[in-house]
Amino acid sequence: MKHTVEVMIPEAEIKARIAELGRQITERYKDSGSEMVLVGLLRGSFMFMADLCREVQVPHEVDFMTASSYGSGMSTTRDVKILKDLDEDIRGKDVLIVEDIIDSGNTLSKVREILGLREPKSLAICTLLDKPSRREVDVRLSSLAFRFRTNL
């Protein structure tokens, strides 16, 4: 069976937008005076986070979490499980959660809540793709590359 893939966003546009996000994040944190940690939500954010890290021009650490709100299928549930936690202490640090796609917002909302309890200096969210038409909980984004208005 032959599969076709429709290009929704050209590669050059994605690269340019990630570079712009890197500049914005650099500007936001350059005078913070605190350590910065980029927290990638595995596995989806890995490639986006690698590209973003190259563009962020302030010293930063990288750490990862794995969280899931999916059951046995692809339907989302409100039950979020942390499958891999951070290796580093984020207390007093500027933390930027990096996600690939936000749709229901359930997983990200829970991760934000968990990380917020660890007393970071600041806690923000950056995503490559936002699908607000699928949102079930409010998620405040500080950095966004692309937003899909339709239900994909």
Q: Tell me the CATH number at 117.
A: 3.40.50.2020
For residue 152, tell me if it sits in a domain.
Answer: no
Q: What is the pLDDT of residue 127?
A: 92
Tokens of 128: 């490559």
Which contiguous run of DSSP H or E holds residue 47? helix 46-55
Q: What local confidence, expressed as pLDDT, does residue 38 receive?
A: 98
Choose, from 31, 63, 79, 103, the residue flagged as catalytic: 103
| Confidence at residue 7, expressed as pLDDT on a 0 to 100 scale | 76
Residue 136's pLDDT is 85
| Domain enclosing residue 22, as ranges | 11-147
Q: Beta strands of the chain (E only): which ranges?
A: 36-42, 61-70, 76-84, 94-102, 122-130, 143-147
Structural domains counted in the chain? 1
For the question of residue 87 being annotated catalytic, the response is no
Q: At a CB cut-off of 8 Å and minimum separation 6, what does 82 contact? A: 65, 66, 67, 111, 114
Q: What is the mean pLDDT of each run of 10 residues along the chain (152 residues)?
A: 78 95 97 96 91 97 88 59 93 96 87 96 94 85 81 56
